[in-house]
Structure 1
Amino acid sequence: MIESERNKIFDQWLARHKGLLFKVVRAYAFTPQDREDLFQEVVLQVWKSIPKFREESAVSTWLYRIALNVGIKWTTKTQRYQEMNQPMPEISPILKEMEIPDQRLIWLYEQIAQLNAIDRSLTLLLLDGFSYKEMAKMLGITESNVGVKINRFKKELMKRTDKQL
């Protein structure tokens, strides 16, 4: 692949799928600086991986997988340097009082942030409407494992919601 073709593809994909990539970044990085750093790592990996794209899946699915992998690796790498016992700040009030959709979204992202890397990825895929089969393929787990993990998260989310109410 010649350099100009690679650059053209990169520019097109980034323009078309920047929001998708940033959504994944937001699930793994919580400060503006960390989000910026992680986004740069994701974009760099996308650029490096363009010659490896085999058109076996949709571009968006392939880019999503790259972003998930980079997010998981980044989380592992940064956890080595950060204290793990810092409590998450409480951002939103009781769920019932959340009239504004943005507050509910913030609360949901808070809950997702508390999951381990694989469960976090799975939850993002679920929210984006991927099928169990697609999620299993992307994460390298079985469809039944996808179902089990999703049900566990839903039950845990309901418990957390009940505690706040």
Structure 2
Amino acid sequence: MTDAERNRIFESWIEAHKAILFKVARAYGSTHADREDLFQEIALQVWHSVAAFRGDSAVATWIYRVALNTALAWSRKERKHGSGRQDFDAATALLVAPPDRDPRIEWIYRQIAELDEVNRSLALLMLDGFSYRDMSEILGLGESNVGVRINRIKKALAAQLAKEQNDGL
């Protein structure tokens, strides 16, 4: 693959799937600067990996895998370098939807922000309509493990919603 071919493919993929990169960067970056850095890091990793794409899955699935793996590695690196719990708490606040959104959407993003990294990734993939098989491929989990985790996430969300409705929130 020539550099020109790689650049052409990369540009078309990023244009078609930049929402994936934004969503993942938003979910894992704790500040605006972190989200920008992570977006660039994900884009760079996609560029480096274009030649490795074998076509075994859809481009969107493959880009999600690259984006989530890059974000998880970035997140671990950030924690290792002392950002710790404070950054995790800040990241939680970032998943709150903009104020012009439906309050139900804001609520779901707040709940997703409270999940651990793997379940947060699963929730994002679920919201984007990926199949259990695709989620399994992207995250390297067994398909049955994905199903169990998704069911637990749904039950936890339902329980939290019931609690908030009972508390009058």
TM range (shorter): 0.7 to 0.9
State the Cα distance separating 1:120 from its structure 2 match: 1.1
Q: Residue 162 in 1 paired to residue 145 in 2?
A: no
Gaps of 5+ in 1: 92-99
Whether the aligned pair in 2 keeps the contact of 1:75 and 1:117 (CA below 8 Å) is no
Whether the aligned pair in 2 keeps the contact of 1:42 and 1:67 (CA below 8 Å) is yes
Report the TM-score when normalising by structure 2: 0.83
Gaps of 5+ in 2: 95-99
Report the TM-score when normalising by structure 1: 0.85
Q: Write the deviation string for residues 37-86 of structure 1: whole angstroms up to 9, x where unpaired.
A: 11011001001101111111111111111001011111111122223167
The one-letter code matched in structure 2 to 1:9 is I
Aligned length: 158
Which residue of structure 2 lines up, in the alignment, with residue 108 of structure 1? 108
Give me the whole-angstrom Cα distance separating, in 2, the residues matched to 1:109 and 1:30.
14
Q: Write the deviation string for residues 4-46 of structure 1: whole angstroms up to 9, x where unpaired.
A: 1111111111111111221122221232111111101100100
SS at match of 2:11: helix
State the Cα distance separating 1:90 from its structure 2 match: 7.2
SS at match of 1:76: helix
Give me the whole-angstrom Cα distance separating, in 1, the residues matched to 2:154 and 2:137.
21
Residue identity over aligned pairs, in percent, reads 50
Q: Residue 17 in 1 paired to residue 17 in 2?
A: yes
> Structure 2 vs 1, CA of residues 129 and 90 (structure 1 numbering), >3 Å: closer, same or farther?
closer
Which residue of structure 2 lines up, in the alignment, with residue 43 of structure 1? 43
> Structure 2 vs 1, CA of residues 110 and 79 (structure 1 numbering), >3 Å: closer, same or farther?
farther
SS at match of 1:115: coil
The CA RMSD measured in Å over matched residues stands at 2.2
Q: Residue 148 in 1 paired to residue 148 in 2?
A: yes
- Mapping of residues 110-129 of structure 1, within 5 Å: 110-129=110-129
